[in-house]
Amino acid sequence: MPSLYLHIPFCEHKCIYCDFYSIENMDSKERFLKVLEIEIRMRAERFDHTQSVETIFFGGGTPSLLSRQQFERIFSLLHKYFRIESNAEITCESNPGTVELGKLSDFRSVGFNRISFGIQSFHDDDLKFLTRIHSAEEAERAVESAYRAGFENVSCDLIFALPKQTPDRWKENLRRAIALKPKHISAYALIVEEQTPLATMVKNKLVAPLPDEEDAELYEITINTLTSHGYEQYEVSNFAQPGYLSRHNFNYWNHEDYIGFGPSAHSFCKDSSTSGKRWWNVRSIQSYCDALERNEFPESGNEFIDRKKFFTEEIFLGLRSTGIDLKKLYPLFGEDVLSIRQKEITEMEQEGLLIRSANKIFLTSKGYAVCDEIAAQLIF
């Protein structure tokens, strides 16, 4: 079982663009932590203990709202029920407005060796629009404090394609991020998700999304800027210094097993080399707690990943990250992508969208911008 994910659903304030499950009311925090312990135990009983855990990721919500003592309780259980590799990558997502040096030192001492800051922008007016609770100055101070607390592996999240965002303002964001010398940078385009305050603002014409061609220009700037400063693009939105790609995210793209804990958390386990099962927890902390207090799994749905869907996901996931491994694909599925899609692959290669070698197909920076369209052409 390469990866564990723990969804901590509490936030001081829910941002206008966020569609992840989170709540602002902290009253149920202690109840949640008690039933989280129950879920860890119950899931572990079904765990294949011949496998060891390679990565652990605390997401949310805002995991950095938890205290040292609360994290110690969780880690104690994880180590009790799972065999965790000594060099496991253990990440905590953090809002810069919720941490300071002492708290970051606590995080480092309880076992975290990687921290991911949701900075989003280094412009205070952008942060106000996004309804973030931190300032640009607090973001820079949080990263610097993480280094002082002993973190070497620091990641920063940024959002581009904000309404009316100009190339110069985005370049300034990238410049200030690079100046902090994080090992990893995630840069996402702002997406208007349904049932968010941002979607309502767009519907009421209070906000206009950035046009697609301007969005594409900012994405190109992102790739060119980060790669010219030593960051390797290993996924559509992720860039890392050599040796510092997110092992947890890479396991997702590589179709490895993962178990999710907490409300709305997803899980995936292979049944064989060509099939598997995916399931997900209820998107309600009340229903989540109620189920576990009855010693029932808090699942709201599941799906069987058959051979055809597994193959489709291998194409999509492979192209999103480091490419399709044809040596792996053909023995598993008996399908020769190079031969069956020879015409399409040749055309896309000539357009500079992908590169093919004897055993691999992978996207260029230009190809990453239209990843889903390319994947659709390779599926049969």
Summarised one tens digit per residue, pLDDT across range 9-31 is: 999 999 999 999 999 999 999 99
- 258-261: strand order across its sheet: 232-235, 238-240, 184-189, 153-160, 114-120, 84-94, 53-60, 3-8, 258-261, 266-272, 275-281, 299-305
Element (H, E) at 278: strand 275-281
Cα–Cα distance for residue pair 285/303, rounded to 1 Å = 22
For domain 3-251, say whether CATH 3.20.20.70 is its number: yes
Q: Is the pLDDT of residue 338 over 80?
A: no
Both tokens assigned to 160: 């581009």
User: Residue 1 has what pLDDT?
Assistant: 63
Q: Is the pLDDT of residue 205 over 80?
A: yes
Angle between helices 167-179 and 212-228 (to 10 degrees): 30
Every domain range in the chain assigned CATH 3.20.20.70: 3-251
* Length of the chain measured in residues: 380
Peptide bond just before 61 cis, omega within 30 deg = yes
Q: Per-residue pLDDT averaged across 318-344, rounded?
A: 83
- Helix, strand, coil tally for the chain in percent (to 5): 45, 25, 35
Confidence category of residue 292, pLDDT binned at 50, 70, 90: very high
- Measured over the CA atoms of residue 235, residue 237, residue 242 and residue 247, the dihedral's sign is negative
Average pLDDT over all residues of the chain: 94
User: Residue 347 has what pLDDT?
Assistant: 93
Q: Is the pLDDT of residue 328 over 90?
A: no
From 99, 93, 195, select the one nearest 141 (Cα to Cα): 99
Is residue 82 within 8 Å of residue 4, measured between CB atoms? yes
Summarised one tens digit per residue, pLDDT across range 275-286 is: 899 999 999 999
Every domain range in the chain assigned CATH 1.10.10.920: 306-380
The residue behind tokens 């941490």 is: 99
Summarised one tens digit per residue, pLDDT across range 219-274 is: 999 999 999 999 999 999 999 999 999 999 999 998 899 999 999 999 999 988 88
Query: Among the residues of 180-283, which ranges form H helices?
Result: 197-203, 212-228, 247-253
The residue behind tokens 């009421």 is: 204
CATH number of 306-380: 1.10.10.920
User: Residue 325 has what pLDDT?
Assistant: 86
From 334, 355, 363, 90, select the one nearest 253 (Cα to Cα): 363
Q: Per-residue pLDDT averaged across 104-115, rounded?
A: 98
Is residue 158 within 8 Å of residue 187, measured between CB atoms? yes
Cα–Cα distance for residue pair 324/245, rounded to 1 Å = 18
6 CB neighbour count, 10 Å cutoff: 22
Query: Among the residues of the chain, which ranges form H helices?
Result: 29-45, 68-81, 101-110, 124-129, 136-148, 167-179, 197-203, 212-228, 247-253, 285-293, 307-320, 326-333, 337-340, 342-350, 365-368, 371-378
User: Residue 72 has what pLDDT?
Assistant: 97
The residue behind tokens 């959002």 is: 159
**Rounded to 10 degrees, what is the CA torsion of 16, 120, 92, 371?**
90
User: Residue 47 has what pLDDT?
Assistant: 81
Summarised one tens digit per residue, pLDDT across range 116-156 is: 999 999 999 999 999 999 999 999 999 999 999 999 999 99
Is residue 2 within 8 Å of residue 53, measured between CB atoms? yes
From 107, 39, 104, select the one nearest 77 (Cα to Cα): 39
Q: In the chain, what percentage of residues exceed pLDDT 70?
A: 100
Is residue 39 within 8 Å of residue 89, measured between CB atoms? no
User: Residue 272 has what pLDDT?
Assistant: 81
